[in-house]
């Protein structure tokens, strides 16, 4: 059975998931990589759009609408005594050398970048990235030098984005393997409760397919940029229920 057909059947058929416990571990591992790829596509898509438009907006906003400043000894220096907010296209630029604005104040905003007192914060594609000024090799940088740096980043986006996407994919894949492994342990508890004779290697394979439905659901929600309340709990609840139904499809061992 092809991996695409397995994906389709795993959405609705616990019986097929139970049958998948006999397949090779290599194919199951490949399925986890495939499932993770589907899960990260919305994040990659929105981040690439936000990053490209955000850099262009940042160049225009910083150059035309922000006052002169410098970053010295890893701290933003300016004569402004209050925060400045600039909206350029779909990007919000926040400038604050007073320390009154924190990362937490903007992490729920959409497509934003902030020059704060001690750090640079980028919000793109519903992902928050924080870069303390101490990460930069230069202890002093002016507004013009920052604009020059942003221009270089813009020219290198065709390299930066693929590398960033690979890192996101690998990190998400590692998380997905941990999720499947832990769910497989819960599967051992479930199989004891309902009296089925399966081993951890079987529950691991079934767990990999049991997370298909919640993964697909949250991928769709991410694609339409909709936040799901208590998503962590819902994800685990659905995965456990599907795995339980799959284990229940396994015939009971015959009595002596």
Q: Alpha-carbon Rg of the chain, whole angstroms?
A: 24
- 114 has a pLDDT exceeding 90: no
Average pLDDT of span 136-140: 67
Task: Give the per-residue pLDDT at 250.
Answer: 92
Which of the pair, 77 or 254, is modelled with greater confidence?
77
Give per-residue pLDDT as tens, 187-207: 999 999 998 889 999 999 999
What is the maximum alpha-carbon separation in the chain?
86
Q: Categorize the per-residue pLDDT at 139 as very low, low, confident or very high, splitting at 50, 70 and 90.
A: low
96 and 116 Cβ atoms separated by less than 8 Å: yes
Q: Specify the DSSP class assigned to residue 98.
A: S
Question: Considering the chain, what percentage of its residues have pLDDT values greater than 70?
Answer: 96
- 256 has a pLDDT exceeding 60: no
3-state helix, strand, coil in the chain (%, to 5): 60, 15, 25
Per-chain mean pLDDT for the chain: 87
248 Cβ partners below 8 Å, 6+ apart? 14, 194, 196
Task: Give the per-residue pLDDT at 201.
Answer: 94
β-sheet bridge partners, residue 91:
88
Q: Categorize the per-residue pLDDT at 214 as very low, low, confident or very high, splitting at 50, 70 and 90.
A: very high
The domain limits of the chain are: 3-44+162-248, 53-155
Q: Categorize the per-residue pLDDT at 91 as very low, low, confident or very high, splitting at 50, 70 and 90.
A: confident
């Amino acid at each position: 059975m092809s991996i695409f057909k397995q994906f389709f059947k795993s959405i609705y058929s616990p019986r097929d998931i139970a049958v998948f416990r006999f397949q090779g571990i290599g194919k199951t591992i490949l399925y986890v990589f495939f499932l993770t790829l589907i899960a990260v596509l919305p994040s990659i898509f929105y981040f690439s759009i936000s990053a490209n438009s955000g850099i262009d907006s940042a160049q225009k906003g910083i150059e035309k609408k922000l006052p002169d400043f410098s970053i010295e000894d890893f701290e933003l220096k300016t004569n402004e005594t209050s925060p400045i907010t600039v909206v350029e296209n779909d990007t919000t630029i926040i400038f604050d050398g007073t320390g009154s604005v924190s990362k937490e104040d903007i992490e729920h905003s959409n497509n934003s970048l902030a020059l704060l007192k001690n750090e640079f914060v980028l919000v793109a594609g519903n992902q928050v990235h924080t870069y303390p000024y101490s990460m930069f090799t230069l202890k002093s940088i002016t507004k013009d030098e920052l604009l020059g740096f942003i221009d270089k980043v813009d020219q290198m986006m065709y390299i930066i984005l693929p590398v960033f996407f690979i890192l996101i994919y690998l990190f998400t894949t590692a998380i997905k393997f941990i999720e499947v492994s832990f769910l497989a342990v819960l599967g051992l508890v479930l199989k004891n409760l309902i009296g089925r004779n399966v081993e951890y290697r079987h529950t691991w394979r079934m767990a990999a397919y049991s997370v298909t439905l919640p993964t697909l659901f949250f991928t769709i929600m991410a694609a339409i940029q909709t936040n799901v309340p208590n998503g962590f709990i819902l994800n685990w609840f659905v995965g456990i229920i599907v795995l339980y139904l799959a284990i229940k499809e396994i015939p009971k061992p015959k009595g002596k």
